[in-house]
Amino acid sequence: MMQEALSHAVVTGAASGVGAAVVRRLLDDGYCVHAFDIDDGRLRALKEQMGSGRLMTMVGDVCSPASVAGLRQMLQDDEARLDVLVCCAGVLRVAPLAETSEQDWDSLFSVNVKGAFLMMQALTPLMIREAGLPRACVVVLTSAAAVRPKTGGGAYAATKAALTQIVKVWAVELAPHGVNVNAVAPGTVNTPMAAGLASAGGGFALSGKAPIGRMAEAVDIADAISLLYDRRAHFVTGAVLAVDGGLTAAFVPPSPPVPSIVSIRKS
């Protein structure tokens, strides 16, 4: 009997939080997973923790065309049929817009927007397939902040709004080529990123409990992502799936005033 080729998946930002939970879900679903992250130490820990021969790790920077090309080459050398790409790599810097440094602005746009763009541009050609075959699937992590920005998170929200538009255009461009492209937009998720924010200040308040009654765990987001790479979601593309426990469906009171604006007015 002919053995069916193994399905391969790439996860960026795989060493922590949502990315690590997505790696676990994909392994449980039988995929060969290529975990890509800039953090070597955490990637090694992930490899040990998952203990799977179907997990490959690669240290690299999503903003670096050379790193991204290296990942593509590795997949090509393995003659891997790439079915799933999940772009989780992201950073968050907290400051009122008036105090956001050019360096922070550039690094947010570089990792969150350019990083996902470079990854999709390099890897989606490996996902293209003939009509009639199961469709490949790209999922990009945006955020509730793309539609509900908060004081202190203006630059981050702008990156996620930009990413949302990129997802939609790419979905249309790849629709005839057998590749679906969707976004998943969480509210606050209990990960190292959110933990760093709790004490960050800068006028930023965490959303905390969603209407569903608790904060999301990384596995909640991974479970929703698995719905999108399920073959039964073959007609879903260009969608933004809110995975926020009802946060963006609810009324949101105005954010607290930013002290720096008051001091600018006085000076």
What three-state secondary structure class fits 113? helix
Least distance to ligand NAD from the beta carbon of 134, Å? 26
**Interaction between residue 152 and ligand NAD (CB under 6 A):** no
**Is 88 or 155 the residue whose CB approaches ligand NAD more closely?**
88
Among residues 10, 26, 56, 62, the one that binds ligand NAD under rule CB under 6 A: 62
Stretch that binds ligand NAD, among 16-24, 117-125, 225-233, 251-259 (CB under 6 A): 16-24
Stretch that binds ligand NAD, among 73-81, 168-176, 187-195, 232-240 (CB under 6 A): 187-195
Q: Would you call 68 exposed, middle or buried from its count of C-beta atoms within 10 A (0-12, 13-18, 19+)?
A: buried
Rounded to an integer, what distance in angstroms lies between the CA atom of residue 118 and that of residue 98? 29
**Is 13 or 96 the residue whose CB approaches ligand NAD more closely?**
13
Q: Which of 36, 117, 156, 229 is catalytic?
A: 156
DSSP one-letter string for 200-227: T-TT-----S-TTSSPEEHHHHHHHHHH
**Interaction between residue 141 and ligand NAD (CB under 6 A):** yes
The answer to whether residues 159 and 165 touch, using CB atoms and an 8 Å cutoff, is: no
Q: Would you call 145 exposed, middle or buried from its count of C-beta atoms within 10 A (0-12, 13-18, 19+)?
A: buried
Strand ranges inside 82-169, DSSP E: 82-87, 136-141
Is 156 marked active-site? yes
**Interaction between residue 90 and ligand NAD (CB under 6 A):** yes
The answer to whether residues 18 and 186 touch, using CB atoms and an 8 Å cutoff, is: yes
189: which strand partners?
216
Tell me the CA distances in angstroms from 85 to 9, 23, 128, 180, 199, one per residue in order.
Answer: 6, 11, 12, 10, 32
Among residues 29, 61, 104, 223, the one that binds ligand NAD under rule CB under 6 A: 61
Stretch that binds ligand NAD, among 56-64, 98-106, 123-131, 252-260 (CB under 6 A): 56-64
**Is 117 or 135 the residue whose CB approaches ligand NAD more closely?**
117
**Interaction between residue 41 and ligand NAD (CB under 6 A):** no
Chain residues binding ligand NAD by CB under 6 A are 12-13, 15-19, 37-39, 42, 61-63, 88-91, 111, 115, 141, 143, 186, 188-189, 191-194
Residues assigned a catalytic role: 156
